[in-house]
Amino acid sequence: MTDTTRRNRILVVDDEKNQRELYQLILEDAGYEVISAASAQAALRLYEEAEVDLVLTDFNMTGMDGLALLKELVAREPSVIVVMITAFGSVDSVKDALRSGAYDYLEKPVDQETLLRTVSEALAGLRQLDGDIIGASDAIERVKRMILKVAGSSSTVLVRGESGTGKEKVARSVHRASQRSSNVFQAVNCAALNENLLESELFGHEKGSFTGANAQKKGLFETASGGTLFLDEIGDVSPAMQVKLLRALQEREVTRVGGTKPVQVDVRLIAATNRDLEVMVKDGRFREDLYYRLNVIPIVIPPLRERRDDILALTDFFVAKHSAAEGRRFRGISADARKLLLEYGWPGNVRQLESAVERAILLAETDRIEVEDLPVEIRQANEPSTNFAFKLPPEGISFEDLERSLIIQAMEQSGWNITRAAKLLGLSFRTLQYRLEKFGIKKRGDE
């Protein structure tokens, strides 16, 4: 959890002592907590140990330089916010830094005002997203930092996540936080249209290009010019369409159906899918070259069951939203109902939570949501079998591997909570704990 009472902590990296102390002084005076490092290596160690909100680093340092530090930090934590300080006039290296995931850069000599403005804008941007993207789990904070980082560029973004995790919400948020926000956000669901319709929708058509094309029509790539085009369910587009999209992305131009002359377009593309594109690439169902073009900046939204810290904040938000829509006031949710919400597996993620709350508000007889107001699947979720969707492992797997696979799945579905996983498996806490140790099962990233 992010502690909102904690002051923002900034890691200052510079091999020149004077510079380091100067930045530290300015930032501390402005109320930030500052830790500092005299080398990139020392910075990496500190970054691992302390919770850091922003890294301010010099570009030219002896040994490992600022760009190498940036790349290493991004490899460890893609959402890290890094501000670079560069020598006056070294524009090319700055471009490298921005491409590698720096949030911004400052040119030397850095004046106090610019430094503080850049830092506070970066951190304020995050807080602004708080009202839009609800949740304060580490996972959602990471998503917010990614939104903020990509907002500053026009790079293509690929939003990944299970159904209902908030992919469209995140796409809209990127648009709103970007310089394109005064222009349109156009969304198109690629799975909802057949190939011909999708092509004419995206690229437009010339008059008479097919039966029914009575007039020339501009496609979304053209009408979204200056703005953002959101391609939802990108994993569902046909192979022929994939080729056309690839060309549009590569050339930054489109040709209307029946047209001959390409038209230049200026759109930020955001694509989303709940499909496993990597598997689709391997199976030859999704073009690898298009995959790389789209996956420039991935934003991954974990399922709700893996960020249970967000459940109550989201519930409160939806109670406020839907009770206002009903013209009613709610005191909240009973303790038992809360407990159920916290323990449920949420296969439909945030969307499912929202509709459960919306329905409960319609049903509630008092000004409080009770267990009875919740949908039956949530009320019955305490019974293991209803909540545990076990994927069958391949045939011929050893008994030990089967047991291991079952345990990992139960742990994943219970958000790595041993008590809950034990309940799903019908084991005691201690038995499961013993088996976890025996198999050396750890949450990915915790090794």
Ligand X SMILES: Nc1ncnc2c1ncn2[C@@H]1O[C@H](COP(=O)(O)OP(=O)(O)OP(=O)(O)O)[C@@H](O)[C@H]1O
Binding mask 118-137 for ligand X (x = CB under 6 A): ---------------xxx--
Binding partner of residue 254 among Mg ion, ligand X, none, CB cut-off 5 to 8 Å per kind: none
Closest CA to 174 of 153, 194, 189, 203: 153
Supply angle C-alpha 300, 315, 127, rounded to 5. Answer: 55
H helix or E strand, kind and range, residue 189: strand 185-189
Among 165, 178, 228, 315, binds ligand X (CB under 6 A): 165
Helix (H, G, I), strand (E, B) or coil at 283: coil
In the complex with ligand X, which residue's Cβ is closer, 181 or 274?
A: 274
Among 9, 71, 108, 169, binds ligand X (CB under 6 A): 169
Total residues in contact with ligand X, by rule CB under 6 A: 16
Name residues whose C-beta falls within 8 Å of residue 56's C-beta, 6 or more positions apart in sequence: 10, 11, 12, 13, 23, 27, 82, 83, 85, 115, 119
Does 425 sit near ligand X (CB under 6 A)?
no
Distance, in Å, from the CA atom of 149 to the CA atom of 180, rounded to the nearest integer, reads 14
In the complex with ligand X, which residue's Cβ is closer, 33 or 168?
A: 168
Does 204 sit near ligand X (CB under 6 A)?
no
Q: Which tokens in the block code for residue 335?
A: 């303790």
In the complex with Mg ion, which residue's Cβ is closer, 66 or 166?
A: 166
Residues between 54 and 83 that touch ligand X (CB under 6 A): none
Pick the stretch among 136-144, 161-169, 203-211, 254-262 that binds Mg ion (CB under 5 A). Answer: 161-169
Binding partner of residue 419 among Mg ion, ligand X, none, CB cut-off 5 to 8 Å per kind: none
Does 241 sit near ligand X (CB under 6 A)?
no
76 within 8 A of 52, measured Cβ to Cβ = no
Residues between 261 and 280 that touch ligand X (CB under 6 A): 274
Among 66, 164, 227, 302, binds ligand X (CB under 6 A): 164
Residues between 352 and 411 that touch ligand X (CB under 6 A): 354
Does 168 sit near Mg ion (CB under 5 A)?
yes
Q: Which residue has the tokens 């997203």?
A: 129
Q: Cβ 176 to ligand X, closest distance in Å? A: 13
Secondary structure (DSSP) of 213-225: --S-EE-HHHHTT
Cβ-closest residue to ligand X? 166
DSSP code for 162: S
Name residues whose C-beta falls within 8 Å of residue 290's C-beta, 6 or more positions apart in sequence: 242, 245, 246, 249
Binding mask 338-357 for ligand X (x = CB under 6 A): ------------xx--x---
26 within 8 A of 106, measured Cβ to Cβ = no
Supply angle C-alpha 218, 219, 220, rounded to 5. Answer: 125
CA torsion through residues 326, 328, 331, 336, sign: negative
Among 168, 236, 266, 403, binds ligand X (CB under 6 A): 168
Pick the stretch among 79-87, 115-123, 167-175, 209-217 that binds ligand X (CB under 6 A). Answer: 167-175
Distance, in Å, from the CA atom of 383 to the CA atom of 375, rounded to the nearest integer, reads 15
302 within 8 A of 349, measured Cβ to Cβ = no
82 within 8 A of 43, measured Cβ to Cβ = no
Q: Cβ 294 to ligand X, closest distance in Å? A: 16
In the complex with ligand X, which residue's Cβ is closer, 119 or 361?
A: 361
In the complex with ligand X, which residue's Cβ is closer, 274 or 295?
A: 274
Q: Cβ 105 to ligand X, closest distance in Å? A: 30
Give the count of alpha carbons within 13 A of 320, CB side only. 7
H helix or E strand, kind and range, residue 383: none
Pick the stretch among 64-72, 115-123, 137-145, 163-171 that binds Mg ion (CB under 5 A). Answer: 163-171
Contacts with Mg ion by CB under 5 A lie at 168
Contacts with ligand X by CB under 6 A lie at 133-135, 161, 163-169, 274, 317, 350-351, 354
